[in-house]
């Protein structure tokens, strides 16, 4: 399977703390994307990082990509209760055009 694997499956932190989620995949990719899903609703695109990029920032989000280890991490700094959601990594694998989603990390940020 090409499906990514997020780690941890669930994460519980306090407001103001940083949250780090990891994603591993098995085959070479064109790009890797992170999405957020609130309460089982539609997903929202957060950030896209290409296979030739190592790090990308967007506001309080920082994504890294290590293609040699086939892994990526999403860091949310200074977390807020509103960040409570499930976070999914999704990959576009070489030779394919569709996204393959990982299993997700459920983040709970307590006030």
Partner 1 sequence: SAVISQKPSRDICQRGTSLTIQCQVDSQVTMMFWYRQQPGQSLTLIATANQGSEATYESGFVIDKFPISRPNLTFSTLTVSNMSPEDSSIYLCSVELREKLFFGSGTQLSVL
Q: What is the distance between the alpha carbons of residues 111 and 15, in angstroms, rounded to a whole number?
A: 5
Please identify, among the stretches 12-20, 51-59, 70-78, 86-94, the one whose residues bind partner 1 according to the rule CB under 8 A.
Answer: 86-94
Find where tokens 């999405």 sit: 35
- In the set 26, 62, 70, 103, which binds partner 1 (CB under 8 A)? 103
Contact string (CB under 8 A) for partner 1, positions 1-20, x = contact: --x-----------------
* Spatial separation of the C-alpha atoms in residues 58 and 27, rounded to whole Å: 26
Asked if residue 57 binds partner 1 (CB under 8 A), the reply is no
If binding is defined by CB under 8 A, does position 40 make contact with partner 1?
yes
Distance, CA of 94 to chain centre: 19
């Amino acid at each position: 399977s090409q499906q990514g694997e997020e780690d941890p499956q669930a994460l519980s932190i306090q407001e103001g703390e940083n949250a780090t989620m990891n994603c591993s995949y098995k085959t070479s990719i064109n790009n890797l994307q992170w999405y957020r899903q609130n309460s089982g609703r539609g997903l929202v695109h957060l950030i896209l990082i290409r296979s030739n990029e190592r790090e990308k920032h967007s506001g309080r989000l920082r994504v890294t990509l290590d293609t040699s280890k086939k892994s990526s991490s999403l860091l949310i700094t200074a977390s807020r209760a509103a960040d409570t959601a499930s976070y999914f990594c999704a990959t576009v694998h070489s030779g394919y055009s569709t996204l393959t989603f990982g299993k997700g990390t459920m983040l709970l940020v307590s006030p």
